[in-house]
Amino acid sequence: MSNNILKNLAIIMDGNGRWAKERGLIRTKGHEKGADTIRDITEYCAEHETIETVTLYAFSTENWKRPKYEVDFLMRLLDRWLKKELETYHRFGARFETVGDIEGFSPKLQKTIASIKEQTAHHTNVTQILALNYGSREEIAKAATRLASRGEEITENSLGDELNTPYTDIDLMVRTSGEQRLSNFLLWQLSYSEFFFTPTLWPDFTPHELDDIVDQYVNRNRRFGGL
């Protein structure tokens, strides 16, 4: 009987658009509702005894291909939402971090991101990491380039250390909305993760469902290549 400890959780939040479509609403309404789900899930993680980080795929390097109005909406939502969430981060004792190339965002949004990071840096219940303008292949390539430019050898250990994420390996990865693919998310860090795919659309995903998944994870047999 195994008893896995869950420290690092990652989630691909998918299905906002379909959630809105099912209700005859515009896609952006799904993103707004999805943002509420982020809060509920972060609260669950902050209260969970062993979870240290939750990494959420919020905007991929490929998401720029969406219609301009949707990209603009997501940027504005993120800015507005982060400012509003500050109180929530304090209440949950949650630290806010990001992975990805935020220099691709407007100076205003970059300033908001930096400010929320700074103001929540002392919290220790959980670190919420939003993957923003994130692509895993690019992250790996850039880390290798940095090592090479310093004349350092590229090994599994040196590259792993160089990847600019505030954790090492992800224990559990969940994707909502029934899609079963990784979409260029944390390819290195997911090497030994347990995967769970649920048909639930992200705006309908609840801490209760996550708790069921965590229970199943705890009882899965993780062998890391051994017997």
CB 39 within 8 A of CB 50: no
Q: Residue 63 catalytic?
A: yes
Residues 189-208 that bind ligand FPP (CB under 6 A): 202
- Among 31-39, 103-111, 154-162, 192-200, which window interacts with ligand FPP (CB under 6 A)? 31-39
Residues 161-180 that bind ligand FPP (CB under 6 A): none
Amino acid identity, residue 194?
E
- Euclidean distance between the first and final Cα of the chain, in Å? 14
Min dist CB 176 to ligand FPP, Å, is 9
Residue in 6, 10, 35, 170 binding ligand FPP, rule: CB under 6 A? 35
The yes or no reply on residue 135 touching ligand FPP (CB under 6 A) is no
- In the shown chain, the binding pattern of residues 53 to 92 toward ligand FPP, with x for contact by CB under 6 A and - for none, equals -----x----x-------------xx--x-----------
The yes or no reply on residue 18 touching ligand FPP (CB under 6 A) is yes
Between residues 7 and 76, which has the closer beta carbon with respect to ligand FPP?
A: 76
Single out the catalytic residue among 14, 79, 133, 171.
14
Which amino acids are annotated catalytic? 14, 63
Q: Residues in the site for ligand FPP, rule: CB under 6 A? A: 13-18, 31, 34-35, 38, 58, 63, 77-78, 81, 130, 202
